[in-house]
Amino acid sequence: MFMRRTILAGIAATLMAPIAAFAADLPDLKGKTVVVVTENAYPPLQFIDPKTGKQIGWEYDAMNEIAKRLNFKVEYQNTSWDAMIQSVSDGQYNIGMTGITIKEDRKQKVDFSDPYMRSEQFMLVRGDESRFTDAKSFAAAKDTLIGAQPGTTPFYTAVYEVLDGNEQNPRIKLFETFGATVQALKAGDVDAVLTDGTAGKGYVDSSNGGLKLVGGPLGSEDFGFIFPKGSDLVAPVNAAIAALKADGTFDTLNKKWFLDYKMGQ
């Protein structure tokens, strides 16, 4: 799932480009309803605002802007990560968004949009952790546990880049949601969680010193929206993604969610 990038400079200059110039050639979906499913468990991409109870995040802002430019109405629904790819593949939803890493094996079930974000994974640990400082020293500390959702990129990274390649390794504790892995980390039930660097920064910023990121990035991957195979929405959404990159909208969202927004405030 989820992990990332460098915020680009020059936001102020790109904001001066007139949006209409980029939107003029975009397809018009004539107000059709598009059902978009997400998990609401991966801040700052998508999550429930603890103050208002509303669904917010980078992906919501991006999808709402895509819908505006392509002239379609968004209907948001929620499902678990375990059900996400299969349910979209089965046509229950038109689009899936939840920091989904573009992978060749997943392309057998769903179509992907062009990448909208590049992610890097880091180790999220408690603020007072001193037994290890990176993936290598974590692996050597035999009494430590790592939390992950089965079938996600962090799970496979934990298996093959942090531990020994055994997917049944008892040092990996499985949880249904990413949020549950973080709660287990805070409670001391696990000692590390792999997360996208920007999402991890959100947790660290809101933890008052209770959490920190350690070690370097464990590879980089691209995120994309997913669609049922053969969906006629892929090309229009790709066109909108290109426009949002070109006119600086994605840069603005990066600044809003990865620099300015402090979770829990």
Q: How does pLDDT run along the chain (265 residues), one tens digit per residue? A: 433 332 222 333 333 334 433 445 899 999 999 999 999 988 889 999 988 999 999 999 999 999 999 999 999 999 999 999 999 999 999 999 999 999 999 999 999 999 999 888 999 999 999 999 999 999 999 999 999 999 888 899 999 999 999 999 999 999 988 889 999 999 999 999 998 887 788 788 889 999 999 999 997 889 999 999 999 999 999 999 999 999 999 989 988 887 665 433 3
Residue 242: what residue type?
A
Residue 66: burial class (beta carbons within 10 Å; 0-12, 13-18, 19+):
buried
* pLDDT recorded at residue 19: 40
* pLDDT recorded at residue 261: 58
* Run of H or E residues at 136: helix 135-140
* 169, HSE (Cβ side, Cα atoms, 13 Å): 23
Stated length of the chain = 265
What is the spatial distance between Cα 216 and Cα 197, in angstroms, rounded to a whole number? Answer: 10
In this prediction the pTM is: 0.71
* pLDDT recorded at residue 262: 42
* 185, HSE (Cβ side, Cα atoms, 13 Å): 30
Distances (CA, A) of 196 to 24, 122, 125: 34, 6, 13
Longest dimension (CA), the chain: 58
* 156, HSE (Cβ side, Cα atoms, 13 Å): 9
* pLDDT recorded at residue 42: 83
- Please report the domains of the chain, with CATH numbers, ordered by start residue: 11-116+224-260 (3.40.190.10), 119-220 (3.40.190.10)
Tokens for 178?
A: 């990413």
* pLDDT recorded at residue 4: 32
CB 29 within 8 A of CB 236: yes
* pLDDT recorded at residue 5: 30
CB 175 within 8 A of CB 181: yes
What is the spatial distance between Cα 182 and Cα 170, in angstroms, rounded to a whole number? Answer: 18
Of 120, 179, 175, the closest CA to residue 146 belongs to 175
* pLDDT recorded at residue 10: 32
